[in-house]
Homo-oligomer: A and B are copies of this chain.
Amino acid sequence: MRTTTAPSAGFRLTPQRAEILRLLEGNTSHPSAEEIYRRVHRKFPGMSFATVYNTLQSLLGRGELLEIRIDPKRSRFDPFTPQHAHLMCVKCGAIADVRTPAELKPLGKPAGFKVLSCNVEFYGVCPACAGKTATKEAAKWQKRTQKRTRK
């Protein structure tokens, strides 16, 4: 996910897809398929769920999108594709991007097992959900998480 201009080559940029791409562009809220559907559906009321899943599949296949499964309930999607970890609030489901100290290697790995990739997921409670106290941090966090742009 870097561009809204046609990726071409077997990928036809239809109006529906353009809208999905626009929604995803720089989006840090890690939306689920359902959230994407809801938002795009407002502009294209005729659009079906299948179109969302198809488009997401296309993007995943082209490496322009990450599917993250930190949320036990459903897949969430992240247009920010460089390797990074995630942190999810177990109360409201908000997900933030985080990093890990260094590249991880498994210890005690069986000989001959070739490691291809690694997922790191943190769970916790975001400021907004930690009682009604930390109101200032909470607001900042919510804005950063529930909203769109990542510069």
A contact set with B: CB distance below 8 Å: 69-70, 72, 85, 87, 89-90, 96-101, 104-127, 130, 134, 137-138, 140-141, 144-145
The residues of B that contact A141 with a CB separation of less than 8 Å are 110-113
Min distance, Cβ A140 to any Cβ of chain B, angstroms = 8
Min distance, Cβ A126 to any Cβ of chain B, angstroms = 5
Min distance, Cβ A74 to any Cβ of chain B, angstroms = 12
The residues of B that contact A101 with a CB separation of less than 8 Å are 104-105, 107
CB contact under 8 A between A120 and B96, given known A127-B111, A134-B112, A141-B112: no
7 smallest CB-CB distances across A and B, nearest first, come from A112-B127, A112-B137, A98-B106, A115-B124, A99-B107, A119-B121, A116-B124
User: 7 pairs across A/B with beta carbons < 8 Å?
Assistant: A70-B119, A97-B108, A98-B109, A112-B126, A115-B123, A117-B123, A120-B121
Contact A87 B69 (CB under 8 A): no
State which of B116, B120, B140, B145 has its C-beta within 8 Å of the C-beta of A119. Answer: B120
* A110–B138 CA distance with the chains assembled, in angstroms: 10
CB contact under 8 A between A113 and B99, given known A104-B120, A106-B122, A122-B106: no
